[in-house]
Amino acid sequence: MIELEGLTKRFGTKVAVDHLSFQVRPGVVTGFLGPNGAGKSTTMRMMLDLDNPTSGRVRIDGKHYRDLEEPLKYIGALLEAKAMHGGRSAYNNLLCLAQSNRIPERRVAEVLDTVGLTSVARKKSKGFSLGMAQRLGIASALLGDPEILMFDEPVNGLDPEGIHWIRNLMKALAAEGRTIFVSSHLMSEMALTADHLIVIGQGRLLADTSMADFIQRNSRSFVRLRSPQQERLRDLLHEHGYQAVESGNGTLEIDGATTESLGELAARHQLVLHELSAQRASLEEAFMQMTAGAVEYHAHGTDVHPGTDSGPRWGDQAPRWGTTSQGK
């Protein structure tokens, strides 16, 4: 279990982390989500005592990191994949780490096997691809067999096979009862990996919620309709109590309806339909709405809703997301 209480970090006048309080629990993958510059890496560095908080504190199983007798046996982390000694083999990189942390040498072969690097164990790590370096970084995090694991943007730059592998590894580690904390700036990635979500923006907590709750509250479903007889269709929908919103290209979006009911209604009135489709707004959209007022670098005028003209844009100052359950 990791506990943050009022954790704050200032760099000069910049407040990178702003009174963050939350808990990361065992047995699940907790996603740590926020746009670029939100303060994720700084928070993780403070969790590992690599940066001093300006105020507030972090507890690892009730203790400050500094007071853990053999920290690698409590908490393992992948912060930067390339942080290895390039002139050493994968095996020797891990062996040095094991020896300096009183971890038995047999663990080196075990973790190399877990991450699939046994066949290149004697190769110098400077020749490793990003995917291999990422696996070696994960092997070092696993070396002390810790109950808590943290991964900072572990899938960045990986190919689909590597991404798939990391996702499954994190889920398997959580299923063993470990505490898994993983950061990302991609909601779509988190939706596939995390059971719980902590969302931050400009250093502040925006949401602390289960993934199931987040999906349920934010997956707006609607039906998209397009007809060459748009005026008649609109009148008909109005008469039957449906709220239709125009979304560009002559398309109507109707919340709270099914394709069956709308298809049958159109058929009864002999209306031609060119499109009748069930739609679900993406979680990425929900995330962007939630963090819209908290993104550090705005690309003004970039439509984040291809094909519609009603969605939020990077740079919207008033987030419309109001259903987070904070501090659960």
Ligand X SMILES: Nc1ncnc2c1ncn2[C@@H]1O[C@H](COP(=O)(O)OP(=O)(O)OP(=O)(O)O)[C@@H](O)[C@H]1O
Q: Where do contacts with ligand X occur on this chain (CB under 6 A)?
A: 11, 14, 16, 34, 36-42, 185, 296
Q: Among residues 11 and 102, whose Cβ is nearest to ligand X?
A: 11
Classify residue 43 by its DSSP letter.
H
Count of residues in the chain: 328
CB of 302 to ligand X, least distance (A): 18
User: Pairing mode, if any, of strands 29-33 and 196-201?
Assistant: parallel
Token pair of 239, please? 């008469």
How many Å apart are CA 176 and CA 46, to the nearest integer? 26
CB of 311 to ligand X, least distance (A): 23
Q: What is the b/e burial string over 192-226, where b = at least 16 CB atoms within 10 angstroms of the residue's CB?
A: ebbbbbbbbbbbbbbbbbebebbeebbeeebbbbb
CB of 130 to ligand X, least distance (A): 16
CB of 309 to ligand X, least distance (A): 29
Q: Among residues 45 and 135, whose Cβ is nearest to ligand X?
A: 45
Q: Among residues 80 and 260, whose Cβ is nearest to ligand X?
A: 80
Q: Among residues 43 and 247, whose Cβ is nearest to ligand X?
A: 43
How many CA atoms does the CB half-sphere of 283 hold within 13 Å? 18
How many Å apart are CA 42 and CA 50, to the nearest integer? 9
How many Å apart are CA 263 and CA 166, to the nearest integer? 43
Partners of 9 in the β-ladder? 17
Q: Among residues 199 and 223, whose Cβ is nearest to ligand X?
A: 199
Q: Among residues 56 and 263, whose Cβ is nearest to ligand X?
A: 56
How many Å apart are CA 328 and CA 215, to the nearest integer? 16
Q: Among residues 77 and 143, whose Cβ is nearest to ligand X?
A: 77
Classify residue 294 by its DSSP letter.
G
CB of 33 to ligand X, least distance (A): 9
The type of residue at 262 is L
Q: How many C-beta atoms lie closer than 10 Å to residue 113's C-beta?
A: 12
CB of 304 to ligand X, least distance (A): 18
SS3 133: helix
CB of 42 to ligand X, least distance (A): 3
How many Å apart are CA 317 and CA 78, to the nearest integer? 34
Q: Among residues 4 and 16, whose Cβ is nearest to ligand X?
A: 16
The type of residue at 233 is L
CB of 238 to ligand X, least distance (A): 45
